[in-house]
Amino acid sequence: EYAVGGDERYILVEDVLTALQQLAHYHRKQFKIPVIQVTGTNGKTTTKELTAAVLSQKHNVLYTQGNLNNHIGVPKTLLELSPEHTIAV
């Protein structure tokens, strides 16, 4: 950690993507909610959107926006988890 002017703080990491994924993994473990994972070659975004739409009738759903179902978009989405979410897709 080092300071660069003012009160801003930065953490220097060896690999930004690995750090992002590790932070998201840690953050996700703080919540005891179900997480639905969709895998496959085709139809992931459509399946995710339909699943989130159905679940949102009774739950506060966190889900990836658009087609950000990748090694960057999933961790960024997981970092948005908050106590009001009851399920994630």
| Domain residue limits, the chain | 15-88
pLDDT at 28 over 90: yes
CB atoms within 10 A of CB 24: 18
Q: Residues of the chain with pLDDT > 70: what percent?
A: 94
DSSP reduced 3-state for 52:
helix
Residue 78's contacts (CB-CB under 8 Å, 6 or more residues apart) are: 24, 25, 27, 28, 88
Closest to 15 in 3D by CA, of 70, 71, 63, 69: 71
> What does the pLDDT average to over 66-70?
84
pLDDT score at 64: 92
Cα–Cα distance measured from residue 82 to residue 2, given in angstroms and rounded to the nearest whole number: 28
Residue that has been written with the tokens 């930065």 in this structure: 10
Q: pTM of the prediction?
A: 0.82
Residue 15: pLDDT band (50, 70, 90) is: very high
- Mean residue pLDDT of the chain comes to 92
